[in-house]
Chains A and B, each alone.
Chain A
């Protein structure tokens, strides 16, 4: 199953909060869509971006780069980024790379 089939657009959430679901393999294909979706949401005035990793098994370097782009965009917009439902491997990777310094883990 390719990752893009598992990508789900941002779900409607509470006001000013957007939930974006990552696919099972966060690579360039899915990553760039997430980045675009997040930017759209930020431009629409979203104050909190929740990236849902519940379906995500693997994140490669391109995925990390994309997430850094999301973090940077959110910072520039004064919004908060939340990573939710991370598995242990992803959590460990984010921790070791320092991404957790910039987001809230839920």
Chain B
């Protein structure tokens, strides 16, 4: 009686430890290994193993073994009849000597007998086989009692749940990976479409060929300099690529006019931000602000822009960013009525208009990006590819950039909507 009580307390201790082990966030392999120790130690089972069932391969793959030797198969296949019988049996111990009618025990009879496997416990969770326990003879050499089988099944349920959870996690991870690939594919398709659109927009304007593509790239540079995340940088680039999509509806003769257009033509041209917004709004962009960038990329901080004459904080940030990229490209490319301006002039223009037309922190970020490239701190040569080496490396540009950056403040001195103290700007030496 005392002996039975000692065994019972010891077995319950193992059951409690197993519950705790399964609940812990240890590695799956470690949990299974410990589980086998606990089940073997609970009843002094000389040898055994825990297997996980692969429903794809219809096989039991050993996850942990103790004392089974090198000859014992590490993978044991099940036929449909075995599966059906094991599911019908549920999570109950099967005495191998009594189950030789099943194909599984006929196929593996020699292996099971040579290692004295007395019990086989299919781990059935929610009517699915997730694994199995192989248990050898006990140290007492006595047959398993009913209560010992019940303890084994109770422990088996814990192990079965641990395997089922692991399977579920693996399935979720697999789906997540598939979804990630799908999203990547869709994003690639979207971005390719956007670039094709940008090229189509640029085809309409023979004098500003490549404008949308360049604005997209400048927008990307600014967003990168602002240390935005990869998706936000991508969104900024897309906003730049598509900012002029409304020009598709403007007459070609107005866009390509080799002279300063008159007021009527100008009014027609100035409709393009609103039209662009209408075109882009129904599209489900992966980035939220693309239509707003198209609509407000001609707004200025001082309220003198169009179409709505918005002030500073009324203007969406992405539109301010695209506005800077757009203006920079307009200043640095030849127009039918105007040659491009020298780099030093452009830098000076940006500095002077920071807080009037442009958000100062964006100008700072942009000029900083340019300076980093010229001083070799950034090896990507992003500006050089877009503007040409000769233009970018004009004499005296580096000191001009440094001076401009030293004079810049990171926030707008013109705050029309909400007045807040202005912070000091960074000092670039």
- Residues on A facing B (Cβ under 8 Å): 28, 60-66, 68-69, 71-72, 89, 92-93, 95-99, 101-102
Instruction: Please tell me if B14 contacts chain A, counting CB pairs below 8 Å.
Output: yes
Is B380's CB within 8 Å of the partner chain A?
no
**A72 cross-chain contacts in B, Cβ below 8 A:** 46-47, 67
- Which residues on the B side are within 8 Å of A93 (C-beta)? 6, 10
List B294-349 residues whose CB lies under 8 Å from chain A: none
Contacts of B10 in A (CB 8 A): 61, 64, 93, 96-97
Residue of B nearest to A62 (CB): B37
- Closest CB-CB distance, A100 to chain B, in whole Å? 9
**Cβ–Cβ < 8 Å partners of B139 in chain A:** 68, 71, 97-99, 101-102
- Bound CA–CA A44/B3 (angstroms): 37
A15 to chain B, nearest CB (A): 28
Complex: A64 Cα to B11 Cα, angstroms? 11
Closest-by-CB residue of B relative to A63 is B41
Q: Tell me if B44 and A97 are in contact (CB < 8 A).
A: yes
Bound form: Cα–Cα A69–B123 in Å: 24
Per-residue contact bits, chain B 221-262, to A (CB 8 Å; 1 contact, 0 not): 000000000000000000000000000000000000000000
A61 to B9, CA, bound (A): 11
Chain B residues near A69 (CB-CB < 8 A): 66-67
The one of A60, A68, A92 in contact with B46, judged by C-beta atoms closer than 8 angstroms, is A68
Q: B140 contacts which chain A residues (CB < 8 A)?
A: 97-98, 101
Q: List 28 A-B contacts (CB under 8 A).
A: A28-B34, A60-B13, A60-B17, A60-B41, A61-B13, A61-B17, A61-B37, A61-B40, A61-B41, A61-B42, A63-B41, A64-B42, A64-B44, A65-B36, A65-B38, A66-B37, A68-B44, A68-B46, A68-B66, A92-B2, A93-B6, A95-B3, A96-B4, A96-B10, A97-B43, A97-B140, A98-B142, A101-B139
B residues within 8 A CB of A61? 10-11, 13-14, 17, 37-42
Task: Provide the bound-state CA to CA distance between A27 and B331, in Å.
Answer: 76
In angstroms, how far is the closest chain B Cβ from the Cβ of A86? 14
Judge whether B138 is part of the interface by a CB distance below 8 angstroms.
yes
Interface residues on B, range: 20 to 34
Beyond A68-B41, A68-B66, A72-B47, 14 additional pairs, beta carbon < 8 A = A61-B41, A61-B42, A62-B34, A64-B40, A66-B41, A68-B67, A69-B67, A93-B10, A95-B3, A97-B7, A97-B43, A97-B138, A98-B141, A101-B140
A68-B46, A96-B7, A101-B139 known; A62 and B41 CB under 8 Å?
yes
Shortest CB–CB separation between residue B124 and chain A, in angstroms?
24
Assess the B141–A101 pair: CB atoms within 8 A.
yes
Determine how close the nearest CB of chain A comes to the CB of B24; give it in whole angstroms. Answer: 13
Min CB distance B57 to A, Å, is: 29
A69-B67, A93-B10, A98-B141 are contacts. A28–B37 as well, Cβ < 8 Å? Answer: yes
Report the nearest A residue to B4, measured CB to CB. A96
Q: Which residues of B contact A63 (CB under 8 A)?
A: 41
Q: Which residue of A lies closest to B45 (CB)?
A: A68
Which A residues touch B46, using CB under 8 A?
Answer: 68, 71-72
The reply to whether A65 and B40 form a contact with Cβ atoms under 8 Å apart is yes
Residues of B within 8 A of A71 (CB): 46, 139
**Cβ < 8 Å to A, chain B residues 132-160:** 138-142
Complex alpha-carbon distance, A99 and B66, angstroms: 16
Contacts of B39 in A (CB 8 A): 61
0/1 string, B43-64, CB within 8 A of A gives 1: 1111100000000000000000
Closest approach, in angstroms, between the C-beta of B150 and any C-beta of chain A?
16
Interfacial chain B residues near A28, Cβ < 8 Å = 34, 37
In whole angstroms, how far apart are the Cα atoms of A102 and B67 in the complex? 15
Q: Is the CB of A99 within 8 A of B44?
A: yes
What 5 pairs across the A-B complex have the smallest Cβ distances?
A98-B140, A61-B41, A98-B139, A64-B41, A65-B41
State A14–B44 Cα separation when bound (angstroms).
Answer: 30
Bound form: Cα–Cα A89–B67 in Å? 27
**A98 to B45 Cα, complex, angstroms:** 10
- Tell me if B6 and A96 are in contact (CB < 8 A): yes
Alpha-carbon distance between A60 and B17 when the two chains are bound, in angstroms: 9
Q: Do residues B13 and A92 form an inter-chain contact, with CB atoms below 8 A? A: no
Q: Which residues of A contact B40 (CB under 8 A)?
A: 61, 64-65, 68
